[in-house]
């Protein structure tokens, strides 16, 4: 595999759906295999299943979906280079200009799909629908090129009961899980906790919602960084990474695999912890770090505050983090902005038990402290 293939494959690992795209090293097939890199679902499936009956590569690309992965890779490559895959002309009758027209239409359709195709049947259906006015020989040749079915199985629709979201919730984040044994790789760690009610988290751009929001310039920078690293240009790679960080994204190593993640600053909704210079300010920060450090978090986001932070309810191992902080006496219920009875009850019980900051004779509210110490 040449460097460009590796660079594009690197971006796919985190920019497209995690159940579709991944390691494609096993695509070095025989001369009779299908696809731009020797892709044949059957040929790859034999060797891949001999090693792993479930998946091919670290991103969950199964032997059955390797053709879908190849098509997605070639579409992304086309978006950047405007070049159709090498070898396509052996399977279609049209010239290169017409082939480019097909890929341009497929790229638009793929990016507009939500979610993108995961199975060969879904990918085949998208190709047939998008290229329905093109030559039949070209369409069938392209499908054979990727080992996709010529006649996909009809879609069977079912009516699902919609899941009711909490009132006011705008969207949900699932932060990256990180093993606690690698401190420098924590996505939620002590240095990410700014105080007792503020935290910075990172969300993988392979998440369906995030994958649609990654700016094109960030993807291109990620490719350039990958190229610089491959060529040993460490200084240039660091500068490119700084550019990505300035845009709110960061490449982080997870289990020896690089993942592009988006940074979110979260303000815990409904509580107000002591500021750093206040009594129990340090203790509140340490308690929050203790709760979330090394954990995978579920964050329900309810808009932003005046500082651009996302206002969120955070859940850790099924526990509501704001309630934990209140029960331990590490924060006030922020009644001015949140009237939830369960939070008021948690504060009341902590006061009665005189735990945490309630052991102080007359603790000062943080909002009053901020007013005096602007």
Question: DSSP state, 328?
Answer: T
Catalytic residue among 9, 125, 265, 309: 309
Instruction: Kindly report the number of other CB atoms within 10 A of residue 239's CB atom.
Output: 14
- CA 259 from chain center: how many Å? 9
Q: Tell me whether strands 310-316 and 271-272 are parallel, antiparallel or unpaired.
A: unpaired
Instruction: Kindly report the number of other CB atoms within 10 A of residue 367's CB atom.
Output: 13
Closest CA relative to residue 199, chosen from 264, 243, 140: 264
Catalytic residue among 267, 269, 323, 347: 267
DSSP string across 146-170: TT--SSPPPP-----PPPPPPTT--
Tell me the C-alpha distance between 249 and 260, whole Å. Answer: 7
Tell me the C-alpha distance between 313 and 268, whole Å. Answer: 6
| CA quadruple 228, 4, 28, 76: dihedral sign | positive
Examine the residue annotation and report whether 267 is marked as an active-site residue of this protein: yes
Q: Enter the tokens of residue 363.
A: 């603790």
Q: According to the 3-state scheme, what is the secondary structure of 189-241?
A: CHHHEEECCEEEEEEECCCHHHHCCCCHHHHHHHHHHHHHHHCCCHHHHHHHH
DSSP string across 62-96: -GGGHHHHHHHHHHHHHHHH--PPTTGGGT-SS-H
**360 CB-near residues (< 8 Å, 6+ apart):** 279, 280
Closest CA relative to residue 200, chosen from 213, 191, 208, 209: 191
**Between 66-81 and 120-130, two packed helices, what is the crossing angle to 10 degrees?**
40
Catalytic residue among 121, 122, 189, 275: 275
Examine the residue annotation and report whether 275 is marked as an active-site residue of this protein: yes
Tell me the catalytic residues. Answer: 267, 275, 309
């Amino acid at each position: 595999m040449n460097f460009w293939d590796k660079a594009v494959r690197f971006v796919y690992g985190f920019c497209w759906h995690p159940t579709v795209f991944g390691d494609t090293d096993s695509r070095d097939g025989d001369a009779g295999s299908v696809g731009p890199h020797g892709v044949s679902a059957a040929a790859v499936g034999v060797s891949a299943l001999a090693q792993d009956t479930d998946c091919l590569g670290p991103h969950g690309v199964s032997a059955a979906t390797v053709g879908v992965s190849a098509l997605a890779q070639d579409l992304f490559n086309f978006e950047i280079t405007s070049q159709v895959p090498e070898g396509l002309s052996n399977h279609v009758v049209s010239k290169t200009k017409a082939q480019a027209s097909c890929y341009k239409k497929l790229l638009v359709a793929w990016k507009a799909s939500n979610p993108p195709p995961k199975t060969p049947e879904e990918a085949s259906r998208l190709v047939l629908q998008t290229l329905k006015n093109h030559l039949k020989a070209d369409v069938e040749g392209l499908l054979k090129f990727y080992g996709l079915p010529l006649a996909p199985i009809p879609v069977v629709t079912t009516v699902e009961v919609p899941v009711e979201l909490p009132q006011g919730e705008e969207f949900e984040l699932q932060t990256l899980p990180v093993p606690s044994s690698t401190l420098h790789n924590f996505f939620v760690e002590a240095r990410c906790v700014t105080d007792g009610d503020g935290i910075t988290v990172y969300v993988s751009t392979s998440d369906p919602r995030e994958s649609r929001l990654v700016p094109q310039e960030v993807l291109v920078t990620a490719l350039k960084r990958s190229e610089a690293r491959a060529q040993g240009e460490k200084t240039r790679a660091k500068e490119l990474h700084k550019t990505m960080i300035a845009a709110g994204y960061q490449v982080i190593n997870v289990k020896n695999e690089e993942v592009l993640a988006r940074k979110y600053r979260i303000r815990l909704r409904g509580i107000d912890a002591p500021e750093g210079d206040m009594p129990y300010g340090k203790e509140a920060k340490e308690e929050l770090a203790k709760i979330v450090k090394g954990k995978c978090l579920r964050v329900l986001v309810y808009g932003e505050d005046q500082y651009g932070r996302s206002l969120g309810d955070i859940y850790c191992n099924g526990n509501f983090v704001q309630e934990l902080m209140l029960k331990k006496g590490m924060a006030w219920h922020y009644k001015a902005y949140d009237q939830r009875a369960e939070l008021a009850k948690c504060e009341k019980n902590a006061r009665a038990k005189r735990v945490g900051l309630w052991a102080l004779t007359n603790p000062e509210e943080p909002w009053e402290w901020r007013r005096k110490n602007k």
